Amino acid sequence: MLARSNGTELRRLDETQWEIPRQGRMRVPARVFADEELLDAIRVDQSLEQLANVATLPGIVEASLAMPDVHQGYGFPVGGVAATEPPAGVISPGGVGYDINCGVRLLALPLTAAELGARTERLVAALSREIPTGRRGSGASAVPSLGEQELDAVLSEGPRALVARRGIGTEADVERTESRGMLEGADPSAVSQRARERGRDQLGTMGSGNHFVELQRVEDIFDSRAAAGFGLVPEQVTALIHSGSRGLGHQVCSDFVKRMDAKLAGYGIDLPDRQLSCAPIDSADGRAYLAAMAAAANFAWANRHAIAHGVRTAIGGVLGAEVAAGTAQLYDVAHNIAKLETHAGRVLCVHRKGATRAFPGQPVFIPGSMGTASYVLAGTDGAMERSFGTVCHGAGRRLSRAAARRLITGAELRKQLEARGVVVRCPSNRGLAEEAPLAYKEVDRVVEVVERAGLAVRVARLRPIGVVKG
């Protein structure tokens, strides 16, 4: 079966995967996981054209891949995956993104939604006080401005530096974090002074845009054994944290996009889109970016670690110290990242842009929207075979922020969410409208495609009861 998307021909491979055959400058085919309805939503922007462009990168292996939440991004589509092989294969900052290691962390509280009851609103209010939002801000969870040595420690060690130096969080939190919250090879000296200044006073802050802390209840359990292993029970209250590397990561990306763009001709690289600017992994520029990207990723893990401390502080103030102490971290996974991994016996650099690692048995989180649901899944062997151990990172936008604002106001959305029993705190009605549920694809359908494709299996569905937006 053939279909077309903005002039891009698609061939159906099976019930959940479509392919743009190798053509023109493409070195490998481009493949997207979707059903027909999601494919219709994907067709509205340039994400498939971007995916075909990714397939032209030097050293790319197998195929460029798109998850079912894919939408247009910078260079790579958001929801794009590409593996390149060192030493000649390239690393592309656009394949990681500006918010390096934007990711999610899930905490499980030792009480049910019924036990939380009428205290939900007080807890959401406490969370909004404890966790700074917006571009800057101050609050109890914000780590005071870091000195040079302490910033270096965070960039090198991630959240472990906060445990050791500030007594923030626990070693158990670190152990339940992807890569234990630290990418090897991080080099603080590869991070520009401008990036350091932008991040120095942002540790423990949420940021703006689609970042959030959301209170949820475990609405459904699909795999009781896996749920028990993860520490989830029916009706339990959870807290999902979504944030990244803030201004520091954004500046790292900006610095290296500019640097690599200026060097393309020298490397003999000709690209269909300059937003894919890249350098050979084993070049001086490639190694420098990997070192700076790893440092920014460590900063992001430390940021979510500090935000989790603010969540526990809020819980302690409203529900008591015992509940705060019993609030356990389930896991923390990165989205925008590139990692050297072994797949089928080959060491590859796997770019995950708005995509989540899903190794067998590993917890996977797919947030929907504040008016729908989020999912906990477990990675499978199928993901290792079909997607370099990767699944999608959310429902995926179907409308731009401007389009969402044209359809609903922040005040209207607040009323709608409150009518559904969702308590909302957001400093900006404009920002709230941009993240309206109508702006996103249907998360249930996205997760269904992930499961049918054999990339992950559903463990639990979480329903929002309160949200603090950046």
Which residue numbers are catalytic? Answer: 393
- Residue 94 DSSP SS3: helix
Q: Sort strands 30-33 and 64-71 into parallel, antiparallel or unpaired.
A: parallel
Phi (first) and psi of residue 238, to 5 degrees: -130, 165
Q: Of all residues in the chain, what percent are helix, strand and coil, respectively (each to 5)?
A: 40, 25, 35
Nearest residue to 242 (alpha-carbon basis) of 126, 113, 395: 395
Distance CA 61, CA 126 (A): 48
What would the two tokens of residue 446 be?
Answer: 């996205």
Question: Which residue type is seen at 46?
Answer: Q
Spatial neighbors of 374 by CB under 8 A, at least 6 apart, are 214, 216, 240, 365, 366, 367, 368, 443, 461, 462, 464
- Residue 402 DSSP SS3: helix
CB 399 within 8 A of CB 438: yes
In this structure, what is the dihedral angle of CA atoms 383, 384, 385, 388, given to the nearest 10 degrees? Answer: 90
Give start and end residues of each alpha helix (H) in 78-219. 113-116, 120-130, 148-157, 159-166, 171-175, 193-199
